[in-house]
Structure 1
């Protein structure tokens, strides 16, 4: 049984002060988004869910450096894999956002995605479908810019 929350993980890399983000094209819809998924069981923490989802969807190593973002939102359960799996009384779930520093250019994507590409902040903002994805990107980008300056 999945836990009633969602995680959002934004892979990034910094090369010569240039920040790039890996954005993913969904297999089941025509949209671009970050890595997303939910908690697998009651013993898994939110950050463990983020690490697992990053590994499952893009083979990002489990020990990669994560940045926990302040960006949080609630999203309709119909936007989560499995829809109303938590019963008729759960309409929205919390979404927690993270950034993950990726060392390799090559990601091995799961069947949830038909492709990915490394893009700039501006290109990601144009491609992303969901406002929560854009808000999390904005926060991560500001944090990374402050670190590199």
Structure 2
């Protein structure tokens, strides 16, 4: 068993989960800001994108490290990465990987819901502002006539 490679993959999965936790927290902040009268996201979107890039790097490293494993180990790791149920005889490292994948997937799902809500809030705000501008234009046209 190539424990050094498995340990690297495990650390990458742990990092991905931490990064996704940060993305989730930033998305909650974005949702709050999107519901305010004046929508200012500051640098939250940039910071969130940085975490997404870090997750992509972890994913790439995991793919590289997978190639260093024999076929049986690759199969076990891929099963853990898939989020499907593990075999009864899975090692502790494989079980830990599976746990990180499940945590990551749960955070991703929650983040996607929050993100969709924040986007809808911004769209609603955009529509409100557009309607106000149209009302003002309409009033100006009526005044000129």
TM-score under structure 2 length normalisation: 0.27
TM-score (ref. length: structure 1): 0.26
More helix by share: 2
Of Structure 1 and Structure 2, the greater strand share is in 1
